[in-house]
């Protein structure tokens, strides 16, 4: 398996992934880490009758290939959506551009 970003005719292409349904979406963009590994920047969105909730966070670990980073990021995003939809936590706006996550317990 090749390491490093995909290059087509000298143009570097960053790997991304997206999973989407009517009420939610998960998108992952790959960012290079300083040690030659890759980390996913995970974008989640959940739409309800009360409005949309969006949150962006980095993958919890680094991966040796972009492919591994995308797949892990999509899994992490799906877990976040599942927990949010199950009311394990609530998300509120803390300040412009910030999100506060509170446990439901």
pTM above 0.85, yes or no: no
Query: For position 2, what pLDDT does the model report?
Result: 45
For domain 12-103, the CATH architecture is: Roll (3.10)
CB 69 within 8 A of CB 40: yes
Structural element, H or E, at residue 72? helix 66-85
Q: Over its length of 105 residues, how does the chain's per-residue pLDDT go in tens digits?
A: 445 555 556 656 678 899 999 999 999 999 988 898 999 999 999 988 878 888 899 998 999 999 999 999 999 999 999 998 888 877 766 655 556 666 665
Q: How far apart are CA 44 and CA 78, in angstroms?
A: 8
């Amino acid at each position: 398996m090749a390491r490093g970003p995909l290059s087509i005719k000298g143009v570097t292409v960053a790997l991304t992934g997206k999973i989407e349904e009517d009420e939610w979406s998960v998108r992952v963009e790959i960012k290079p880490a300083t040690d030659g590994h890759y980390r996913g920047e995970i974008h989640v969105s959940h739409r309800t009758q009360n409005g949309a909730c969006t949150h962006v966070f980095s993958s919890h670990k680094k991966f040796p290939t972009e492919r591994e980073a995308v797949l892990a990021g999509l899994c992490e995003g799906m877990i976040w959506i599942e927990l949010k939809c199950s009311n394990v936590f609530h998300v509120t706006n803390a300040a412009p551009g910030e999100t506060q996550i509170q446990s439901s317990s």
